[in-house]
Chain A
Amino acid sequence: MPQTAQRPPVLTIAGESFSSALLAGSAGYPNRQIMLDALAASGAEVVTVSIRRVDLSGPRESLVDMLAGKYRLLPNTAGCATARDAVLTAGLAREALGTNWVKLEVIGDRETLYPDVEQLLKAAAQLAGDGFAVLAYCNDDPITCEKLADMGCAAVMPLGAPIGTGLGILNPYNIEAICRRLTAPVILDAGIGTASDAALAMELGCSGVLLNTAIARADDPVGMARAMRLAVAAGREARLAGRIPKRYHAQASSPELGLINS
């Protein structure tokens, strides 16, 4: 039977609807073709890019030509250490790509790549006030996440683990609490290592998952992209279906009545 009823969108950010809860990065793939194949296999509709100086020394292959039209490009402010630099980078991204969307990253130090919360909040307030749709990369701290949501961020994106570590979700209790407390979309960003991490993020209540390294650096990026697409979809279905409560003692699943010799 053909379904006539329109299925609700899987993810809505700043009024824009998507049919996949996966957002993917464009960095670190073995080559451009594998990146394109992996992005296609991932089902992601939003793809992150950075903003960097033009190489003035030679011909330039344009990432925009490769991705624009197929994906909604989400420029990031990666590498920025101050609110001032992040705001300028967001402005340059808006000018270059004609989008008011920005993945706001303000990094505190090179070792942890943790956000500098003070600078992050400052930049988020300014950008949200300037009409940007801010998707804020932040600590897995419910207080900071709530402040970002209250400022009008389009999405709040707590880290599962430090960027590039692949350690998964180190504090699932915090992620669950953040999802419970916020009405803004919560997107798990950073730390995903494999498919089960992405499924867990969705089971905890996240609206989406943003990842890059887990796909790009896998032995088979296209295969891992497919796995991530399935994992995010499975985690979301499980969340909607409602998991059973955890118990600390066994409970038989087969009927206890009618046993032979009883």
Chain B
Amino acid sequence: MDISLNGAPHSTTSIRLAELLAEYAIDPAKPGIAVAINDAIVPRAHWPTILLQAGDSIEIVRPHSGG
């Protein structure tokens, strides 16, 4: 299905959010990552179960240097 991932078009075979994160070797057990789908924050506990929908806009963020 086609989704938007961090602002870019992306085609994925993943059905669930956790599978999409695994595509990028993002370890769900490690702190420091947060995910929003269509501007709604997805709590970490829901990552394994939440289903992706075509057209979803997904943002995966982490802390970066900042002032």
Give the interface of A toward B (CB within 8 A): 25-29, 35, 48-54, 56, 60, 62-65, 68, 73, 75-76, 78, 88, 91-93, 95-98, 163, 212-213
Contact of B39 among A25, A88, A163 (CB under 8 A): A88
Closest to A90 in B: B41
Min CB distance B4 to A, Å, is: 12
Which residues on B sit within 8 Å (CB–CB) of A35? Answer: 65
B22 CB-CB contact with A under 8 Å: no
Partner of B31, one of A49, A56, A98: A98
Decide: A54 near B31, CB < 8 A? Known: A95-B41, A95-B43: no
Residue numbers in A under 8 Å from B62 (CB-CB): 51-52, 54, 60, 62-64, 96
Q: Would you call B51 an interface residue if the criterion is a C-beta within 8 Å of the partner chain's C-beta atoms?
A: no
Distance, CA A28 to CA B41, complexed state (A): 29
B30: A residues at CB distance < 8 A:
62
CB of A63 within 8 A of CB of B64, answer yes
Q: How far is the CB of B38 from chain A (nearest CB, A)?
A: 11
Q: How far is the CB of A218 from chain B (nearest CB, A)?
A: 14
Shortest 6 CB-CB distances between A and B: which pairs? A50-B66, A25-B67, A212-B67, A96-B34, A64-B32, A95-B34
Question: Do B65 and A54 touch (CB < 8 A)?
Answer: no
Majority SS at the chain A contact face: mixed
> In the bound complex, what is the Cα–Cα distance between A73 and B64 (angstroms)?
11
B6 nearest CB neighbor, chain A only: A53
Instruction: Provide the bound-state CA to CA distance between A212 and B32, in Å.
Output: 22
Q: Are A64 and B66 in contact, with the CB atoms below 8 A?
A: no
Across chains A and B, the number of contacting residue pairs, with CB separation under 8 Å, is: 105
Cβ contact within 8 Å between A213 and B26: no
**Which residues of B sit under 8 angstroms from A163, Cβ to Cβ?**
67
Question: Which residues of chain A have C-beta atoms less than 8 A from B7's C-beta?
Answer: 53
Q: Could you tell me how many residues of chain B have their Cβ less than 8 Å away from some Cβ of chain A?
A: 25
20 residue pairs from A and B, CB less than 8 Å apart: A35-B65, A48-B66, A49-B63, A50-B63, A50-B65, A51-B63, A51-B66, A52-B63, A53-B59, A54-B6, A54-B62, A62-B62, A63-B62, A75-B63, A88-B41, A92-B59, A95-B35, A163-B67, A212-B67, A213-B67
Q: Which of B32-49 contact A (CB under 8 A)?
A: 32-36, 39, 41, 43-44
Excluding A25-B66, A51-B61, A212-B67, 18 further A-B contacts by CB distance (< 8 Å) are A27-B65, A49-B66, A50-B64, A50-B66, A51-B64, A54-B60, A54-B61, A56-B5, A64-B62, A65-B32, A68-B31, A78-B67, A92-B61, A93-B34, A93-B63, A96-B62, A96-B63, A97-B32
For the complex, give the distance between the alpha carbons of A63 and B61 in Å: 13
